[in-house]
A and B are shown apart, each in its own frame.
Chain A
Amino acid sequence: MTALQKLRAALAGFPRLALWIIAGFLFLGLFGPWLVPHDPLKQNLLAAGQGPGLTHLLGTDHLGRDTFSRLIAAANTSLVGITLVLGIALVIGIGLGTLAGYLRGWAEESIMRVTDVGLAMPSLIIALAMIGIFGTGYWNMVIALALAWWPSFCRVSRGVAVGVMNKPHIEALRVMGASPARIFFIHLLPTTTGSVLVYATADAGGLALSIATLSFLGLGIQPPTPEWGQMLVDSLPYLEGDPRQVILPGLALTLVVVAFNFLGESIALNRVPRPLGRRILARRRAEAAAWDTPPAGLVTGEKA
């Protein structure tokens, strides 16, 4: 119960709707394969292009596959892809970034220069170029995206690591004779990992979009595996006659991206103090006025 309350308190500052959408996405992504009413891969040309009905809730596509099932299965594809890419990118980014912050000197300089090149260009271009060189395929897509994504994690974790290394407790650990490995793995790495993980949550939306974009371009998830971008491009030739097959996967993808972006925005707002607006100020004043004796430190609350 306390764990649940803790979770609730931690999530209280975030937009409710975005959290519900993300929760839905995670649920469908995790349990989708057991929830689908029809086999998402089974073609039935006799039932192709049907409208919504009782058997096929959202109709069928041009090959007679159940759209509802395919949309759910696509959430699974997307979630697995995001997790794999984020996992690889986080390991590389946090590892190198923390190392740069720990070692400083020329090692930091060279790591950060490489990171700068990576950050100077959009991730999707790097991923596209790598797919162009090494060929299309599921793992090529995952690795290309991961290699394109790690620089931003590297920069964040390096910043955190430098901050931690400058704190007195690291100095104290050194004096007490802690080994470099102990300082790195026990005192430094967990801190940077924690900070970067929050940052990575907001990145999941962009990643979902990239996977869908690559699949749309025919370079990511290959048919017949259902994926939103790939479903969309699949039905694009039939846009005029059956726009539903284009709109539904597009909407599903947009919903997930909106939710993650919304969450990311509120994470950014929660972390960076911002001048207070007129209304919030007024509410705080009203709150403060309601106290009999203002607690110490909150008297100047207007400027907080």
Chain B
Amino acid sequence: MLGYVISRFRNAIILLVLASMLCFGLVVSAPGNVAVLIAELRTPGATFAQIEEIEEELGLNDPLPLRYWHWLSGVPDGDFGISYKTGEEVGAAMARRLTVTATLLGGAAAFACLLSLALGFLGALRPHGVVDGLTRVGALLGASTPQFFLGAMLIYGFALKLGWFPTFGDDDGLRSYILPWITLGMLPGCVLSRLVRVGLEEEMTRPFALTARAKGLPRNAILFRDAMPNVAPAWLTAFGAQCTAMTVGSVVVEPLFAWPGVGAMFLQGVQFRDFMVVQAGLLIFISFFILLNLAVDIVVMLLDPKLRRQGGR
């Protein structure tokens, strides 16, 4: 078991190092001279000498491994460099926006979790019934609707026509959170609901379910008490994957609802080709994905007695 955990950690660290190289490599391979951009930012119409000075200051003339090391050693302190566009420190700006994104992701994850369990159980209560068919079609639609389209429709219906929620912003408390949460959580919730539904049906065809039924337990009791724990590990693994998908979704949903989060900042960085912001955003996102997957793997192992005994694969 410990060996499994250690091998997972080792894999995660290798992935993190490779990912950081990717982030660094992307910016290094960018066309154009960074020093020129910064010189223009500081003093419009910079001279050649000034540009050279900045090149020296940024260490652009150092060999690549050294530059990589300089960049990487600054990362733990939150030193991601300075935005070419606004001139502010990228690390500090990202940190300020982290709570906004955390609010969005947390709420959306909770919504997705509830939705998937509700739809999945609703379908599994009466397999191949009318309700099951409806939830199936609903889940398929929800899993295929583009987030920006769903968001626009929610804004039109609930904000513009009914006026229940504000159309944008995050400064109106819970009322302003609801629509972004639904927009972001709908897709993962629907994808996961299929998994719950199919998993439950599979469990109910197993011998233990038949035994429990023969002993006189009502079907729903077996569904909730015996079948669900067996679905949980697969559900959790998929939930981790969907959380990464939701993080990507934040890049779409945050600008749509004008939330000042990390996703919106990353998007601005991409739109204005602000390399430092893109680099920092990419590294933060990827580190989050890798750590999340690590956490999910370990929790799944703790949950699943089979994996626990074998000590992993």
Contacts and interface: CB of A to CB of B under 8 A. Distances in A.
Interface of A: 113-114, 116-117, 120-122, 124-125, 128-136, 205, 209, 212-213, 216-219, 229, 232-233, 236, 239-240, 243, 246-247, 250, 253-254, 257-258, 261-262, 265, 274-279
Given A219-B270, A275-B202, A257 B144 contact: yes
Interface of B: 14-15, 18-19, 22-23, 26-27, 29-31, 127-128, 140-141, 143-149, 152-153, 155-156, 160, 201-202, 205, 244-245, 247-248, 251-252, 255, 266-267, 269-271, 273-275, 278, 281-282, 285-286, 289-290, 293
A136 B272 CA distance: 10
Nearest to B128: A279
27 contacts: A114-B18, A122-B245, A125-B286, A128-B270, A129-B23, A129-B282, A130-B26, A132-B271, A132-B275, A133-B27, A209-B146, A212-B146, A213-B148, A217-B251, A217-B271, A232-B149, A240-B156, A246-B156, A250-B145, A254-B141, A257-B146, A258-B140, A258-B144, A276-B205, A277-B205, A278-B205, A279-B128
B149 A254 contact: yes
Interface centre among A113, A132, A205, A262 (most CB of B within 10 A): A132
A216 B270 contact: no
Contacts of B127: 277-278
A129 B144 CA distance: 24
Nearest to A257: B144
A128 B251 contact: yes
Given A125-B248, A133-B275, A258-B144, A117 B26 contact: no
Contacts of B140: 258, 261-262, 265
B29 A133 contact: yes
User: Which secondary structure dominates where chain B touches chain A?
Assistant: helix
A233 B275 CA distance: 25
Contacts of A250: 145-146, 149, 152-153
B65 to A, nearest CB: 18
Contacts of B18: 113-114, 116-117
Given A129-B26, A217-B267, A239-B155, A121 B244 contact: yes
A120 B293 contact: yes
Contacts of A247: 153
B252 A213 contact: yes
Interface centre among A133, A250, A258, A278 (most CB of B within 10 A): A133
Contact of A121 (B255, B267, B286): B286
Contacts of B267: 128, 217
B286 A120 contact: yes
Contact of B144 (A205, A219, A274, A277): A205
A274 B201 CA distance: 11
Contacts of B248: 122, 124-125
B120 to A, nearest CB: 16
Given A233-B148, A254-B149, A133 B273 contact: yes
